[in-house]
Amino acid sequence: MSGCFGLVGVDRDGPVVAGLRSKLAEHTAVPMPRGTLLMMPRAEFTADLDLFCDTIRANPTLRYVLTVGDYNEGVQPFYYDLYCDFGARALEGEVLLCPEVCARLDGEVRVLATVDYHPMVSAVLPGMNTIETPFGTLHSWALWYSGRSSYLLDRAPRFEGMTGPNEVNGYWLTDQGFQYLATQAMTIRANGTQSRRIVLYAAPDTRSEMFLRLMSAFEAVGVELIFVFEDDAHEFAVVNGLADVDLYGRSGDHSFVMSGLRDYVSDDPAVALAISQMQEQLLAASHPAHGLAEFLHRHYADIEPTMRAAIEQAGATARDMLIEFTAHPEREKAALLPSFAERWRALCTA
């Protein structure tokens, strides 16, 4: 046995595994946490590679191992612990590939330079759960909110993002939200990355100290904020065929779209350009407030002087906290993240 197709997040005796095993001739099953490894001769693995890729596309919520080599000989693969580690850490749709399989699927996979699984690599198969938008075709990608997305967002010299109410009240107060903002703060300081974020807000946000503290933190680390009233953005979306698109942004050639609470990505430069153009059209069609100071001035009647002072202080404190976190070595950050994120939530919700 030298070929291995592993499935993680699935019942070992369930229909997905049973259906797959019924199509394989010579093979054995090796249990692993929350899944199974199907081991087979190299010839059968090579012949069934398309079947494995079809299985991955048909079940995009699982995690997969797809490797071939002498290290898969024996009762248990040599890299069994690595396979288990990947299964525990991977996100929906991620596939662990060996160099040989990666080469065979050249042009059919997107390698993710996010976590070191040496000598293997993590990848996704493009085309899984695609969505057609006015920008072009994008495919689903769970990594956007994984805490590992910044390797894409921060590589380009400019990031044009967008934030909506669901993110403000959810993602940005999570451990991953803190980690992402800390990474972007470091990139802005170290590389001079330009970061612009269009913030869609509703009337209650003008009276929400949590919202204002969070926005103050963004601005304190160097993110340019442009505030657009949510109703204006919705009207613009309907007129421009974006009724099913919640958020859209780009970083270099990488584009990011949220639709129906699912996340999609593209690396087509034409899609990225279309997103930039649509953002500019949105700003031209609305009456945005450029920066937190202008936003506060516009809604001065809704903001008490004491609240204004508090949010300015919160921004400065958040900046110092984010800088303090990024100063720690990478190997220490995972252990420190929960305590820092708890301080972050306390600061935003005080």
95-131 residue pLDDT tens: 999 999 988 887 677 777 656 788 998 888 765 567 8
Q: Per residue in 20-38, is it b (16+ CB within 10 Å) or e — as a string?
A: beeebeebeebebebbbbb
Taking CB atoms within 8 Å and a gap of at least 24, the contacts of 232-237 are 232/285, 232/286, 232/287, 233/200, 233/282, 233/286, 236/281, 236/282, 236/285, 236/286
Which range among 147-151, 213-217, 289-293, 317-321 shows the weakest confidence by mean pLDDT? 147-151
The candidate with the shortest Cα–Cα distance to 288, out of 228, 350, 337, is 228
Look up tokens 């220490």; give the residue. Answer: 332
**Strand, coil or helix: 39:** strand
Between strands 158-163 and 247-251, the pairing is antiparallel
301-325 residue pLDDT tens: 667 788 788 888 999 999 999 999 9
The candidate with the shortest Cα–Cα distance to 55, out of 7, 114, 116, is 7
Mean pLDDT of 328-339: 87
10-61 residue pLDDT tens: 998 899 999 999 999 889 999 999 999 999 999 999 999 999 998 998 888 8
Percentage of the chain surpassing pLDDT 90?
A: 49
The CA distances from residue 41 to 32, 64, 265, in Å, are: 20, 18, 36
* Chain-centre distance for alpha carbon 245: 17
Confidence at 217, pLDDT banded by 50, 70, 90: very high
Residue 127's pLDDT is: 59
Residue 204's pLDDT is: 87
Which range among 84-98, 112-126, 273-287 shows the weakest confidence by mean pLDDT? 112-126
**What average pLDDT does the chain have?**
87
Q: Report whether 178 contacts 344 (CB < 8 A).
A: yes
Residue 115's pLDDT is: 66
Who contacts 253 (Cβ-Cβ below 8 Å, separation ≥6)? 156, 267, 268, 269, 272
Look up tokens 């600061």; give the residue. Answer: 347
The candidate with the shortest Cα–Cα distance to 180, out of 317, 333, 312, 329, is 333
Q: How many CB atoms neighbour CB 287 within 10 A?
A: 10
- Whether the per-residue pLDDT at 149 is higher than 80: the answer is no
More confident residue, 94 or 92: 94
> In the numeric block, which tokens belong to residue 257?
């779209």
Residue 126's pLDDT is: 65
The candidate with the shortest Cα–Cα distance to 285, out of 245, 229, 243, is 229
Strand partners, 258: 247, 263
Element (H, E) at 46: helix 42-47
> In the numeric block, which tokens belong to residue 188?
């802005």
User: Superfamily for 3-124?
Assistant: Nucleotide cyclase, GGDEF domain (3.30.70.1230)
Between strands 95-97 and 63-68, the pairing is parallel
157-206 residue pLDDT tens: 888 989 987 676 678 888 888 988 888 888 888 888 899 999 999 988 88
Confidence at 154, pLDDT banded by 50, 70, 90: low
pTM as predicted: 0.72
Residue 145's pLDDT is: 47
Residue 141's pLDDT is: 65
- Whether the per-residue pLDDT at 146 is higher than 60: the answer is no
The domain ranges of the chain are 3-124, 130-349
